[in-house]
Chains A and B, each alone.
Chain A
Amino acid sequence: MAGGVAWLAARRLVQAVPVLFGVVLVNFLLMQAAPGDLADVLAGEQGAATPEMMAELRARFGLDQPVWMQFLHYLGNVVTGDLGHSHRLGLPVLTLILERLPATLLLMVPAILLASGSGMLLGGLAARRAGSWLDGIISAGVLLAYATPLFWVGLMGIVLFGVRLQWLPVGGMRDPGADLSGLALALDTARHMVLPVCTLSLFYAALYARLMRASMLTALKQDYVRTARAKGLSPWQVDAVHAGRNALLPVLTMVGLQAGALIGGGVLVETVFSWPGLGRLAFDAILRRDLNLLLGIVLASSVTVVLVNFLVDLLYGLADPRVRAA
């Protein structure tokens, strides 16, 4: 088994190299296609510029070099583990990404766990009672959650819980003026997490619930389920263990695919809740034509996707022994 995992890991690693190269190349070219560069942006936000200043800035950022030279230069740095410098923010790209990573994980991991947990539960329940009033309520709720724009849900959450009832803070990750530490800081952070995590998980929960319901319905019709029932196992045991475990596979696949969203997908929620995550950093990098920063984030998120999919592959093995054998 251990040897199998190592073999799988090595294969994945080799496969990842062309993928990552492609991701960097495509994003580099896309940014080249966007009009305007970082020098334009810096002049733009300062409200004034001179031709000398523009030339100095471009020379400083290497933007006066031919595009292929810029690309090779970037690639050379990445190979040696150097993600470069954000010229606008005056910091190394790696530092900027690592600064934002905790906030991103703090938002995304609970959101994905909450979403997949509640989605599977609701989807499973709806499938067991397919056609009943419970199924009706769950399906309608899921459809509503699925169709409502995230930022609107977030804003309504702020208006209701932040402004009207004042139970929860309006935004941010912690109270910046309070100088908290230890348990007080953890509690304060938790309070700040409630609205953004719930908002973000709402959409994903709806998605997983729909998937789970469909795949559970298929599983419940299988012969082995009938056999299990015929053996006299309790209905709960049959549904949760026999059918449920098999129905999990499509949902797991989806969670794995959406791991990319772990890094970039929270832009709207991060914006609405002033959450200092990587999504906003990436979004700003695009608007400000901060090429190094954007490529760094894209690269980091591609690596995450590759890693998480590797983990999902391992989880498949646990959920379905047939996958392990293959």
Chain B
Amino acid sequence: MIPPAMSRRLLLAGLGAATLGIPSRMALAQPAATPRRGGTLTAIVQPEPPILVSALNAGAPTGVVSTNIFDGLFTYDWDMSLKPCLAQSWTLAADGLSLTFRLRPGVKWHDGQDFTAEDVKFSLEEIWRKIHPRGRATFAAVEAVETPDPLTVTLRLRQPSPVILSALNAYEAQILPRHIYAGGDALANPANLKPVGTGPFRFREWVRGEHIILERNPDYWDEGKPYLDRIVFRIVPDAAARAALLETGQAQYAPYSPVPLSDVARLRALPGLAVETRGYEWISPWLFLEFNLRKPELKDRRVRQAIAHAINRDIIAKTVWHGFGKPAVSTVPSSLTRFHNPDVPKYPFDVKKAEALLDEAGFRRGADGMRFALSHDYLPYGDDYRRTGEYVRQALRRVGIDLTLRSQDTPSYLRRVFTDYEFDISSSWASSFSDPQIGVQRLFWSKAINKGTPWTNASGYSNPEMDQVIEAAQRAVDPAERARLFREMQALAATDLPNLPLIELHFFTVHAKTLRDVATGPDAAYSSLKHAWLEG
């Protein structure tokens, strides 16, 4: 059913290409089979989430479970346009300074209380803006939240802030119950461990170290959904054990690249299993090297360009990542079609050119054949990142840069790279999200050089021209102008090269073929399993 306000939304769609009411790919490609009700789905979540509320912990494991219990105002369609969820429609004023949501009537929290505009206002003012690590920036322009009636929420903005529209799903802007959280210390609320949401599944039990069980919410507003009676999330810390559970059919769903890449081919060949790479487009993760521009060798742009020429991104995608990646061209991945700039300065694999640039920069080969030595702190998130580091070492030694790999645990890595700045080249992955303002700009904005804060601008890169472009893009109301500015940001980034995009990562979900309708949108890995069903 198309909600009545949809027409109004369509009229306003001229404001943003993203809001055009293109019929979803889902709807067009609806499978012939009719969804079957019932059944228990055994899923794997890894590692164990610390709490079950995404609004209070933005980590991926929390998101995998939590988005089944809570809703957001919207979900995203394949073209990144908004699909109604707790909100049925939205209107943005022509000056871009007020944003109004019409809420769905008759929605109830799992404890029976009514869901109202006050819950939205509370979540935005007290949770997203005060506690959520990205929400603090995403909703920074909100000056006031008005609730003229229980089903209307209006955000008054200090300056136009289109980025808000890219962060309104259950993962990034989760609606919490005001009646449970108001007045207390949200981070210490016992409901964080036994959450009460409006979502398709209700929390039943969590046995730490073992499993989390959710059950179908019979009063869910989206009638007929969810199809599954129950979801059991098992906590399985060992990758080989995860593979064994999937292989024997004891688990049917495991998102977030649950097994080593070297195991994927074997699992994919099994008749009962499927490997799905859709459902991660909304975060669009990509892998890059970050250069510490405080180091004398790396301060020279020619050295950074030489490194870019010395690395063959095809090998990283095809060999190191077993094809689960695509050589990156720009710092905004190509999956963000609105913003991606394919025409940035490029650095094709060219060893001769790399050598020439290093010679030109005055770094000649010494008696041992090496020009200078650097260290590489690869992201300590597993073998794939270590092997990427090994390839980079090999590639750089070929042009006379003696690279030493440094292995450490995650807190040590974060402290070294983001607090002590005691690194030469680090590797990292980041989510760009569907708007570069959320995930990408931090790498290039001089105001994001925040010593002691993980995932900020660690290279020390600062360029007034870049700052101007980024800040103009934050304020731009016209979507075309905004996209142009972000394309300019990418061109500047590729010219100055404070970091080097390696590949666009393709995360994957392994699931049983009997589990249907898993990847139903670009944020499927971060959404509920309300569309999923098990074949009888």
Which A positions have Cβ atoms within 8 angstroms of B?
34-37, 40-54, 60, 88-91, 96, 99-100, 103, 155, 158-159, 162-163, 166, 169-174, 176-177, 271-277, 280-281, 284, 287-289
Shortest beta-carbon contacts, A-B, top 9: A36-B411, A276-B209, A176-B211, A48-B133, A46-B58, A36-B415, A35-B415, A43-B454, A35-B412
Distance between A25 CB and nearest chain B CB, rounded to angstroms = 21
Size of chain B's interface in residues, with CB distance under 8 A? 57
Interface centre among B51, B207, B211, B238 (most CB of A within 10 A): B238
Please report whether the interface of chain B is mostly helix, strand, loop or mixed according to DSSP: mixed
CA distance A162 to B209 in the complex (A): 20
Specify which chain B residues have a CB less than 8 angstroms from the CB of A36 in the assembled complex. 409-415
In the complex the two chains form, is B453's CB within 8 Å of A43's CB?
A: yes
Contacts of A177 in B (CB 8 A): 40, 42, 213, 230, 232
A49 and B133 contact, CB distance less than 8 A: yes
B388 close to chain A: CB less than 8 A:
no
* Residues on B with beta carbons closer than 8 Å to the beta carbon of A271: 237-238
Given contacts A100-B208, A172-B211, 17 further A-B contacts (CB under 8 A): A40-B415, A41-B414, A45-B59, A47-B455, A48-B134, A48-B455, A49-B133, A53-B136, A89-B50, A91-B193, A103-B209, A171-B241, A172-B236, A176-B232, A273-B241, A280-B209, A287-B409
* A49 contact set on B, CB distance < 8 A: 133, 453-456
| Complex CA distance for A281 and B209, rounded to whole angstroms | 8
Q: Which of B30-38, B245-253, B358-366 contacts A (4 or more CB under 8 A)?
A: B245-253
Give the CA-CA distance A36 to B241 in the complex, in Å.
Answer: 30
> Which of the residues B47, B210, B412 comes within 8 Å of A172, measured between beta carbons?
B210
Q: Is residue B91 within 8 Å, beta carbon to beta carbon, of the partner chain?
A: no
Q: Which of A46, A170, A287 meets B59, CB within 8 Å?
A: A46
Contact of A176 among B58, B234, B409, B411 (CB under 8 A): B234
Interface CB pairs A-B, < 8 A, 30: A34-B411, A34-B412, A35-B415, A36-B410, A41-B411, A43-B414, A43-B454, A44-B414, A44-B455, A46-B57, A49-B456, A50-B137, A51-B452, A53-B131, A90-B192, A91-B193, A163-B244, A171-B236, A171-B244, A176-B42, A176-B211, A177-B232, A273-B241, A274-B235, A276-B207, A276-B208, A276-B209, A280-B237, A284-B47, A287-B410
Given contacts A36-B411, A100-B208, A159-B244, contact A176 B213 (CB under 8 A): yes
Q: Which residues of A contact B238 (CB under 8 A)?
A: 171, 271-274
Q: Contact between A166 and B248 (Cβ–Cβ < 8 Å)?
A: yes
Q: How far is the CA of A36 from the CA of B417 in the complex (A)?
A: 11
* From B57, B58, B241, contact of A274 by CB (8 A): B241
B240 contacts the other chain (Cβ, under 8 Å)? yes
Assess whether B50 is in contact with A88, with CB atoms less than 8 Å apart.
yes
- With A46-B58, A170-B248, A172-B234 as given contacts, are A40 and B454 in contact (CB-CB < 8 Å)? yes
B452–A52 touching, CB < 8 Å: no
| Nearest-Cβ distance from residue B42 to partner chain A, whole angstroms | 6
Residues of chain B from 447 to 466 with CB closer than 8 A to chain A in the complex: 450, 452-456
Nearest chain A CB to B452's CB is how many angstroms away?
6
Residue of B131, B207, B250 ringed by the most chain A CB atoms within 10 A: B250
Judge whether B371 is part of the interface by a CB distance below 8 angstroms: no
> Is the CB–CB distance between B410 and A41 below 8 Å?
yes
Residue of A nearest to B59 (CB): A45
Question: Distance (Å) between the CB of A221 and the closest chain B CB?
Answer: 47
- What B residues does A277 contact at CB under 8 A? 209
The answer to whether A170 touches B208, judged by C-beta atoms less than 8 angstroms apart, is: no
Residues of B close to A40: CB separation below 8 A? 411, 414-415, 418-419, 454
